[in-house]
Amino acid sequence: MARKYDEIMSHLVVTDAMRSRILEQLESAGQPTPFSRTPLLLRRTLAAAACLAIVLAGISVLPRITSPQPVETPSGPITVVPNLQEVSSAQALSALVGFSVSDLKALPFLVEQSTYTAYGDTLAQIRCEGDSQWALFRKSAGTEDNSGDYTAYAAQTSYDQDGLTVILKGDAEQSYVLALWTDGSYTCSLRLSQPLTAEQWDQVISANR
């Protein structure tokens, strides 16, 4: 509150015209001219002038104090987009990333549309859609999890399939929506919109290894 008062007072200027009007009003009310009296009367007069000036300046000063101009902030999330490129086929995708990528087989729905995306030369992605379902497949060099799915699933199991290390994740036993498998050189991940049992996943992975 004290800072606001000091800021208001810093804008006050008592001009000669304002002083004259104040003195005329005091004389018309039967008050003697304060400037010929004691310093106490002088201080009281100047205080009255300050109050009048506060009323006159308040309209223009207070809005700037109580309603500062808003600072513009960016709207929406700030996203860093990698060097990605969309192509028309698995063959073109393979050429961009530098390793073999094939169309998905044995999915639990009929594929009506596929989208092929290369994330630089490090990761290949194929998204398949159809019959109100979808599948998201990714392949990259190395053994790191490339799924981008960091959900803390309640159920997880792992096993070996003819040289592949397979991990299944889901919300319940025998209800898995995410599979990861690696042969030590490349890692693949497959996320489905509808869960499969471990036996069903085993067939899908065998067809796409």
Q: What is the pLDDT at residue 38?
A: 45
Average pLDDT, the chain: 79
Nearest to 169 by CA among 206, 207, 195: 195
- Give the integer Cα–Cα distance in Å for 125 and 144: 15
pLDDT at 14: 57
Share of the chain above pLDDT 90, in %: 60
- How confident is the model at residue 64, as a pLDDT? 44
In whole angstroms, what is the distance from residue 157 CA to residue 174 CA? 9
Residues with Cβ within 8 Å of 191's Cβ and at least 6 positions away in sequence, in order, are 135, 136, 147, 149, 177, 178
Does position 58 have pLDDT exceeding 60, yes or no? no
Note the pLDDT tens digit of each residue in 177-194. Answer: 999 999 999 999 999 999
E strand segments, 71-201: 84-87, 113-119, 123-130, 133-141, 155-161, 164-172, 175-182, 186-196
For residue 23, pLDDT over 90 is answered with: no
Tokens 């995708």, residue located: 93
* Residue 70, pLDDT score: 47
The per-residue pLDDT for range 158-168, each reduced to its tens digit, is 999 999 999 99
pTM of full prediction above 0.75: no
Task: For strands 84-87 and 175-182, give the pairing.
Answer: unpaired
Inter-residue contact 7 to 65 (CB < 8 Å): yes
